[in-house]
Amino acid sequence: MGVRDWLAPRLLDWMMRSVDDLRPETVSQAHGEVLEVGFGTARNLPHYQPAVRSVTGLDPMPTEGLAIVEQRIAQARFPVERTVLRADGELPFDAGRFDCVLTTWTLCSIPDPLAALSEMRRVLKPGGRYLFIEHGRSERARTARWQDRLNPLWRGLTGGCNMDRRMDALVEQGGFQLASLDRFQAPGPSLLACMYRGVATRER
Ligand SMILES: C[S@@+](CC[C@H](N)C(=O)[O-])C[C@H]1O[C@@H](n2cnc3c(N)ncnc32)[C@H](O)[C@@H]1O
């Protein structure tokens, strides 16, 4: 394992602590068989409620053997299966397999988000729910212009995170129907703290 592979999940886990307060409202709505895309370092696991039967965590970043991740998985009250895979390719799951799909601060990092959303929709049951909290493009024109200007630099520095994506538009283009959407400014740097919290459905 190279230094980068060793460092990446540890650094990510440390950085993602800053948004822990925002997780429960979205994660607690999950039920049944859940697919979590962009599983990261399993920071959402403690927030799932008893209505959840299992979680399949998908992420291209390997975290096998990282103590804090193993501990979160061991403490879960439901089975957790990790799959090291990117979401913007064909997913190895049958159509309609999951009751819920969840992403938290992940659509920003997926190179082809529409391909991922299309696969997420395919593996979600008709009537199932896609729960998300993501950061993205600001509602303020001036901030959005700065996001566009700085995005190439930011993407390069972070290894793939985009700050200027219109998340609600992407979710709808991916074939979902938005049932609720809350856009708000979280504490933190204004370019990175424009949040999109929502629930979308797969109607048929
Ligand atoms: C900012 S982190 C968020 C991690 C986690 N969801 C959380 O809330 O702590 C973004 C995650 O997206 C993952 N990711 C990047 N490209 C991906 C892809 N093509 N498919 C699925 N996940 C991807 C990264 O490995 C990383 O774990």
pLDDT in tens, the chain (204 residues): 788 888 999 999 999 999 999 999 999 999 999 999 999 999 999 999 999 999 999 999 999 989 999 999 999 999 999 999 999 999 999 999 999 999 999 999 999 999 999 999 999 999 999 999 999 999 999 999 999 999 999 999 999 999 999 999 999 999 999 999 999 999 999 999 999 999 999 987
For 80-83, the CB contacts below 8 A with 24+ separation are 80/42, 80/45, 80/54, 80/55, 80/56, 81/54, 81/55, 81/56, 81/57, 82/39, 82/57, 83/56, 83/57, 83/58, 83/59
Cα of 3 vs centre of ligand 1, distance in Å, is 19
Q: According to CATH, what is the number of the domain 3-201?
A: 3.40.50.150
* Domain extent listing, the chain: 3-201
Cα of 84 vs centre of ligand 1, distance in Å, is 11
Does the pTM exceed 0.95?
yes
Cα of 109 vs centre of ligand 1, distance in Å, is 6
Which of the listed residues 4, 47, 109 should we mutate to test ligand 1's pocket, taking the one with most ligand atoms within 8 A of CB?
109
Task: Report whether 107 contacts 37 (CB < 8 A).
Answer: no
